[in-house]
Amino acid sequence: MAAASLKLSYSAKPLALAPGSHLLPLRAHHARPFPTRLPPPPRVAVQHTAAPASNASPRTASFDKEEAEATLRLLLEEENEAHIAAFLVLLRAKGETYEERRWLLFPRSAAADIAGGVGIVHGETYVDGITAIYNLGDSLSDTGNLARQGATGGLLRYTTRLPYGVTVGRATGRCSDGYLIIDFLARDLGLPLLNPCLDEGADFAHGVNFAVAGATALNTTALAARGITVPLTNSSLDVQLRWFKEFMNSTTSFPQEIREKLSKSLVMLGEIGGNDYNYAFLQTWPMDGGYSLGNITRMIESVATAVDLVPEVVQCIANAAKEVLDMGATRVVIPGNFPLGCVPSYMSAVNVTDRAAYDARGCLVALNLFAALHNAWLRRAVGELRRAYRGAAVVAYADYSAATLDDAAALGFDERRVFRACCGVGGKEGGAYGFDVRAMCGAPGTAACADPGRYVSWDGVHLTQRAYGVMAELLFRRGLVHPPPINFTNGARA
């Protein structure tokens, strides 16, 4: 169904911001564990925290997967969560090889896989008929494209080596200690992890990841006209959309085949646009001798500068969504922006002591209001797309803002470190947030925390694998993507 060109307009209506939701304990996913498609990691020396005594006998059978699965089945039948948890902790301690650690990395998934559930079965049955995911975005979902372009400078120059990827055993090009929301989503749909589109020779049968860390919604020309420099990549949304079209055209013979392919796919359009604002802020923030806005007035002035970008950024995202929908996409998810005022890098940059600058959670009010403005415009755009393609497609808004971790302690995070980066500058040099733009995670003199799973923020900009996993649960299983694009109880033949 074709639709007329969409044009966004602003009406001065008060924004109704949803209050933070309090979460129940997360349940186990009925899904497969992460696929074992990743190539073996490079051989690296691993320093164990506790070496065995010199007279200790070597372990001859430290891990037996079949025996572990049988034991886990019995525990699942008992439905004793405490026993299951204790058993998985023991297993995790015994896993010594890369393959063993990978199987043990996601115990909730392993348990659910053994217990059963909807997922891919012999390559024929898929969750809700979704056979592929196509993702466009930035560092929140890039699984290795910037690494292949060459992340040689800027804030992301250390992301291609450890400690990035430390939780999964090696650096993969993801801006985290491990996996991202897009990885958890693929797992929950019973699909392989998405390969980056720049990975020549990779298997793209079940989707492609076009996202590039550092990417913007507006292209470099449009941003340059506003005096905004893009330091990392020119792979903006229009470039990724071109890659998407080229892939579809090269793997099909005619337009109707593209429509059929997309009718069984999920398209993730973002998160994108956050870097447009990041780079706009950087143009006005003084960098000599530090990384600080200095005072609330300067912060508000910077926000005002970025506000002018909002209509253009949102229009750009809406136009990209329209093109994908016109090609035949039937399920498109468009995520909103994170609450910038809760991000350690921004909090460190402002670094003011005036309590009036912060809300009850300890986040910066002005920056969160800016993120809320972007999200309000984006929700309006999604609503217009939904009306234009009524009956032909599900166009969903993903509320990343509401998926932040208000109940951090209840979810197993250290509430004293909600705003502190796991990896970065420690001690007094790192300040309250463990972040210094001149010494990003991976730089000489920085270190990663011992347990990333207790932290929300990985490097002061991006989140930990654990935080992304919780967000994936909240978004796709707790109703923070609306309307729901996936029925996880529905298995369908492809």
DSSP string, 56-70: PPPPS-S--HHHHHH
Co-location of 210 and 88 in the same domain: no
Query: Could you tell me what percent of the chain has a pLDDT over 70?
Result: 69
Task: Give domain status of residue 122, yes or no.
Answer: no
> Both 103 and 155 in a single domain?
no
Average pLDDT over residues 10-35: 35
Query: Domain check: are 72 and 185 in the same one?
Result: no
Note whether residue 47 is domain-resident. Answer: no
CA 316/CA 320 separation, integer angstroms: 6
Residue 200 covered by a domain: yes
Check 128, 177, 276, 459 and give the catalytic one.
Answer: 459
Whether 459 sits among the annotated catalytic residues: the reply is: yes
**Residue range of the domain that includes 164:** 131-493
Q: Which of the residues 30, 206, 374, 462 is marked catalytic?
A: 462
Q: Are residues 329 and 397 in the same domain?
A: yes
If one compares 306 and 134, the residue with the highest pLDDT of the two is 134
Q: Which of 30, 138, 139, 176 is catalytic?
A: 139
Q: Are residues 176 and 219 in the same domain?
A: yes
Active site residue 139: yes
Residue 96 sits in the same domain as residue 177: no
Number of folded domains in the chain? Answer: 2
Mean pLDDT across the chain, nearest whole number?
Answer: 78
pTM for the predicted model, two decimal places: 0.76
Residue 99 banded pLDDT, cuts 50, 70, 90:
very low
pLDDT(457) > 80: yes
Measured N-to-C along each axis, helices 181-188 and 465-477 cross at an angle, to the nearest 10 degrees, of 50
- 285: CATH: 3.40.50
Residue 158 sits in the same domain as residue 185? yes
Same domain, 451 and 423: yes
Task: Tell me the DSSP string of 418-460.
Answer: TTSBSEE--TGGGTTTT--TTS-TTSTT-EE-S-GGG-SBSSS
The string of pLDDT tens digits covering residues 219-252 is: 999 999 988 989 889 999 999 999 999 999 999 9
90 and 221 co-located in one domain? no
pLDDT of residue 290: 43
**374 included as an active-site residue:** no
- What are the backbone angles phi and psi of residue 482, rounded to the nearest 5°? -135, 135
Report whether pLDDT(412) > 90: no
Higher-scoring residue by pLDDT: 193, 281: 193
- Residue 479, CA distances (Å) to 198, 482, 487 in order: 33, 7, 11
Residue 101 clears pLDDT 90, i.e. is over it: no
Residue 76 in domain? yes
In a domain, 49, yes or no: no
Q: Give the tens place of pLDDT for each residue, 243-296.
A: 999 999 999 999 999 999 999 999 999 999 999 999 988 876 654 444 444 455
